[in-house]
Each structure stands twice: as structure tokens, then as C-alpha cells.
Structure 1
């Protein structure tokens, strides 16, 4: 690759890297615990305008499919997320005595179309499977996805960070 081409590629890459990110879908994203030190913060559901436009068709299709299939009472799975946030808060309070998630994790949750993405760090003695199973019993939740690590200093992480 010649120098002018390399420079153009570099400039385009920098432009994309510097593009502002926004939570276009207003997907709930929040931290629930802070017990594990030096846990990298996840990127969460923020996207550039370009990423959002590229994901739009897929997002519409995913959101409407459960209603079309008769598995959802609401016309779009993303409409559940605000209600699920309240249910998740109650569920987390109820399962803490059995899982001790507050004392053994630094976690963030993202809710998208009845899925809960659990991102962050857990202590080595934390029973992640039990926590995920119990969290998955939250009303209207279809699936819980584990993106946690017990080794926060090692790369690659199971989730993207703002530095990625």
C-alpha cells in the first residue's frame, strides 16, 4: 500500500474511532455492583450513527419476531425492557442472600428485547451459574447472557469496553 492510500485509510479509521456514540435504542444499561476492583467498564448499548443504521433492520426483525410468532403479548420485544428493569431490581434483592452477588462482583446489566446481558467481573469463588439461573427467573426475561470474567486483568475480555 502506498503512502497516500495508507494515510487515507488511517484518516478514515480515526474518523470512525472518534465518532460519537449514543444509546440510540434507549436500552437500559446500569451497574449493579462494585466489589471486584479494577474491572473494566463495558461499552454498553452505545453505537455510532453508522452502527445504528447498520443494525436497524436486524433490530426491527428481532424485536417483532416474538409477537409474530405469538410468544409475546407486546408487539415488540424491546417494549418489555422498561418493565423488566423494575422486575430485575426486585429479583436482585431477592436472590442476594442465596448468591451474594453484591459482595462478589462488579457487574453491569444491559436489557435488550427480553435478554439480560451480564457484563463485568466476578470473584473466583462466585457461583456464576447459580446467579445467572436465578436472574433468568425474572418475569418476562427470555434469556440471560453471561459476559463475565474472573480474570479482569487478562485480555481479551468477554465484552467490549470504551477503549476498544
Structure 2
């Protein structure tokens, strides 16, 4: 993305807002093979779009790390069109005050951080949140599956959140219901 942004600047071409945001906020480039268990030549996963990703709790040891917003370059190409379309359609239809659906995400993540500093509503869990287009995905481990609706309600009550989805599990012997950052 850096080379694309540089080329656009040199040629005087304006890029869509989402492309510039992605170039400015790429973080945490992590080769999948670094975690072990992955074969050589595995593609690098990056947070191409700069989506907020934060750990909300860490009470359960050995909970597998979700992939969150970290995707391969091939996955980025597949998601780019849909993200651009969703990002601007919201504003064009008048259902968003901001010109891009994804511009709410950092504020949502900050509100989530602040609310967690005042209370610890996710006791007996190890969960992470990914904020993408006003939807908050909460992934990880819980001691009791019945906590999922409470987690969703807590997050959904934050400003600008359109939907909260808890993808959690309580049986450590079972396979996680979410995509993992690293292959076991």
C-alpha cells in the first residue's frame, strides 16, 4: 500500500479515503510462521485497514488468539471493494453523519476502553474485540456460554455501535468458533 500511495502522490492522483486511511494505519505486520505450527512460506497477515483490535480481558490462560483484523494480502483484495461500498453508502443514504462508515471505529474502540477502565464486566473471560464498520466482534474464551448475551449488550450500548457479536466458547477441548491468528 505504501508504494501505491507514493505512486498516487507522484502522479497527482487522488485515492479514495479508505485507501489513504489503510496506508496511514497499517500496524502489527506478523508473519504467521512466527507463532510456530505453520509451514514455511505462509503468507504474512497484517491489519491492512487499521481496524481497532484490543484485548478486553485475560482471565483464562491459553485462550487462542483470534485472527481479528489481521488478514493476508489476498483477503485484503477480496474485502476492499465491499469495505469501500459499505463505507460510503452509509453516508450517501444519510444514515451516517461521517463520510465513511469506518470512521466511527476508533471512537468506538476508545469508548470501549474507557468503559472497561470503569468496570470489569467480562470476569472469567479472555476476549478480544475487533471493530469494523460499527460492528464489534468479541472473540475468545468464557467459563460460561451464558455470558455471551451480556457481553453483546454491554458493547452494543456504546455510542455509534451498530451491532455487537460475541463469538466465544467455553470448552477448551473443542475447536474455537473463530478464525485463529496463528495455525496450531
TM-score in terms of structure 1 length: 0.80
Q: CA deviation at 1:92?
A: 2.6
Q: How many residues align?
A: 145
What 5-or-longer segments of structure 1 have no aligned partner?
Answer: 1-13
2:104: which partner in 1?
A: 80
Higher RCO by CA contacts (8 Å cutoff, separation 6 or greater): 1
Q: CA deviation at 1:25?
A: 0.1
RMSD across aligned positions (CA):
1.9
After TM superposition, list the pairs within 5 Å mapping 1:115-134 onto structure 2.
115-124=135-144, 127-134=147-154
**Do 1:104 and 1:126's aligned partners in 2 also have CA atoms closer than 8 Å?**
no
Q: Which 4+ stretches in 1 moved above 3 angstroms?
A: none
Which of 158, 163, 178 does residue 138 from structure 1 map onto?
A: 158
1:66 and 2:86 correspond: no
Q: Which has the larger radius of gyration?
A: 1
What 5-or-longer segments of structure 2 have no aligned partner?
Answer: 1-38
Q: CA deviation at 1:38?
A: 2.0
2:76: which partner in 1?
A: 52
Structure 2 CA distance for aligned equivalents of residues 153 and 30 of structure 1: 25
Structure 2 CA distance for aligned equivalents of residues 111 and 129 of structure 1: 18
TM-score in terms of structure 2 length: 0.72
**Do 1:21 and 1:48's aligned partners in 2 also have CA atoms closer than 8 Å?**
yes
Q: CA deviation at 1:121?
A: 0.5
SS of the equivalent of 1:83 reads helix
